[in-house]
């Protein structure tokens, strides 16, 4: 009996040593030579990447109207011989490269533009009045196309499957939620998202584990009183006074009800009432946005916002109506990055870009619908730098002066490729053993 146990022990030990040795070989296969090959291949595609990005930039399309952008992506995928599903979420595309088997991961890029008038004068500025790629989504889409080409060149070596998600409607449309409903994730076990970052220099990336971007929503309120002549306020019910007290009371939700160590924002962004100097108006309208670094925190703020508005209105003999605008703007959850994926991004980034170009990201109170994917599977959103003062790439997203350093395009394509390739290589044993 003892000899049988000994033989069994030796057998399982040999299996374990064989597995770990193979894992080390594959983990170390992403070495400096590999990194140089990926970067070199991406740089050779730079002219093509710049051309694609400029075509998208010249003809920006708003949420769920990305028909021309979608057609351009499909043409490029057809040239590369990469299969895809279309339409997903009206204009979205899901392409797939690899064996079709597990492990399966997803790479995501958003496609929609902003309702902005571009004020940067250059040859390839927006040709559509009032619309602009002022948040870098044209770059995101281009970098993912670049990764598609690089991954397709390595498709016979991929140790699993990569799903490429070209997503519409990120800017307020919760396009990610619609993509999920229509099966875009498939059996993906992890997802990576990359966003341009105007703070860090071109060629640097910034990542963080845990909460990164805020959960957010919008609201509008109407306080109804009884209008009348300003010379006789006692016979009126003044909604302006009620709205003033209400707005001040709302600010106390942050200063007196929220833990100072938690991150919350409540901003009133407009207020409108009457137009005459001698008339108390019958109603006042105002609205704004709520943000929290936790989804739970956002739910609490939404509840208290409604209670305070209705309570303050009642105290001033008015009626209040609160609209959380969910039909127009679906509330976004918080972007919370997976720790293991964060470490993966740092590890790959250091070898591909150099340790000096891998930094710790700072938390922001902006929102991103990438969070919807993270509610289902581990995911990470990280920034890729575009700051270059020499070319004027210094302005923040959502600025009409936003300008992109196009040197980022091959870097982003190579990074997408390396992140996917190495993840599959390192995780295939969890499937096959």
Alpha-carbon gap, residue 399 to 54, rounded angstroms: 18
Token duo for residue 21: 């040795």
Helix (H) / strand (E) element for 87: namely: strand 84-88
Task: Give how far Cα 346 sits from Cα of 40, 151, 337, 374, 377, Å.
Answer: 20, 20, 13, 19, 20
Q: Is the dihedral of CA 258, 260, 262, 264 positive or negative?
A: positive
318 is in an annotated binding site: no
Enter the tokens of residue 139: 């770059």
Where residue 17 falls (left for φ over 0; alpha for ψ -120 to 50; beta otherwise) is alpha
Is 229 annotated to bind a ligand? Reply is: no
On whether the CB atoms of residues 134 and 118 are closer than 8 A, the answer is yes
DSSP-derived letter for residue 28 is T
398 is in an annotated binding site: yes
Distance (Å, whole) CA 141 – CA 132: 15
Torsion of CA 269, 273, 277, 281, to 10 degrees: -160
**SS3 letters across 236-288:** CECHHHHHHHHHHHHHHHHHHHCCCCCCEEEEEEEEECCCCCCEECCEEEEEE
Contact indicator for 413, 225 with CB cutoff of 8 Å: no
User: Is 325 in contact with 307 (CB distance < 8 Å)?
Assistant: no
CA atoms of 414 and 144, how far apart (whole Å): 9
> Which of 237-253 are b and which e, b meaning 16 or more Cβ less than 10 Å from the residue's Cβ?
bbbbbbbbbbbeebeeb
| All residues at 6 or more sequence positions from 290 whose CB lies less than 8 Å from its CB, including other chains | 216, 217, 218, 219, 264, 265, 266, 298, 301, 302, 305
Q: Can you state the percent helix, strand and coil of the chain, rounding each to 5? A: 40, 25, 35
What is d(CA 418, CA 37) in angstroms, rounded to the nearest whole number? 10
Q: Which residues in 111-232 belong to E strands, given as ranges? A: 161-167, 190-201, 205-207, 210-213, 215-224, 228-229
The answer on whether 364 is annotated among ligand-binding residues is: no
Annotated binding residue at 316? no
Residue positions in the annotated binding site for Mn(2+)? 135, 137, 171, 195, 398
Q: Which residues are annotated as a binding site?
A: 135, 137, 171, 195, 398
């Amino acid at each position: 009996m003892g000899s049988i146990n000994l033989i069994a022990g030796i057998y399982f030990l040999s299996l374990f040593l064989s597995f770990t040795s193979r894992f080390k070989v594959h983990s170390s296969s992403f070495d400096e030579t590999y990194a140089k090959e990926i970067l070199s291949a991406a740089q050779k595609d730079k002219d093509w990447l710049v051309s694609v990005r400029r075509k998208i930039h010249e003809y920006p399309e708003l949420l769920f109207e990305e028909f021309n952008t979608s057609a351009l992506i499909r043409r490029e995928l057809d040239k590369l011989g990469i299969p895809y599903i279309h339409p997903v979420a009206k204009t979205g595309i899901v392409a797939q490269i690899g064996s079709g088997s597990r492990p399966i991961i997803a790479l995501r890029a958003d496609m929609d533009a902003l309702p902005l008038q571009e004020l940067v004068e250059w040859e390839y500025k927006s040709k559509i009045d009032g619309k602009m790629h002022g948040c870098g989504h044209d770059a995101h889409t281009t970098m993912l196309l670049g990764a598609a080409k690089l991954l397709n060149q390595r498709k016979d070596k991929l140790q699993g499957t990569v799903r490429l998600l070209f997503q519409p409607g990120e800017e307020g449309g919760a396009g990610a939620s619609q993509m999920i409903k229509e099966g875009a994730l498939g059996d993906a076990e992890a997802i990576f998202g990359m966003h341009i970052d105007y703070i860090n220099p071109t060629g640097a990336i910034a990542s963080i584990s845990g909460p990164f971007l805020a959960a957010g929503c919008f609201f509008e309120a109407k306080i109804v009183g009884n209008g009348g002549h300003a010379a006789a306020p006692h016979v009126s019910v003044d909604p302006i006074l009620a709205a003033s007290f209400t707005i001040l009371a709302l600010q106390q939700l942050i200063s007196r009800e929220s833990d100072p160590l938690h991150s919350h924002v409540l901003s009133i962004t407009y207020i409108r009432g009457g137009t005459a100097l001698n008339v108390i108006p019958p109603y006042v309208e105002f609205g704004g946005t709520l943000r929290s670094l936790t989804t739970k925190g956002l739910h609490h703020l939404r509840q208290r916002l409604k209670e305070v508005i209705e309570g303050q209105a009642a105290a001033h003999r008015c009626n209040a109506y609160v609209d959380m605008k969910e039909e127009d703007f679906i509330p976004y959850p918080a972007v919370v990055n997976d720790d293991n994926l964060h470490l993966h991004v740092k590890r790959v980034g250091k070898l591909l870009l150099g340790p000096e170009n891998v930094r710790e990201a700072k938390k922001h109170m902006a929102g991103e619908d990438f969070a919807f994917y993270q509610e289902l599977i581990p995911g990470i959103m990280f920034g890729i730098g575009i700051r270059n003062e020499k070319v004027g790439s210094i302005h923040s997203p959502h600025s009409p002066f936003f300008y992109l350093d196009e040197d980022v395009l091959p870097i982003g394509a190579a990074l997408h490729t390396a992140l996917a390739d190495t993840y599959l290589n390192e995780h295939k044993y969890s499937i096959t053993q």
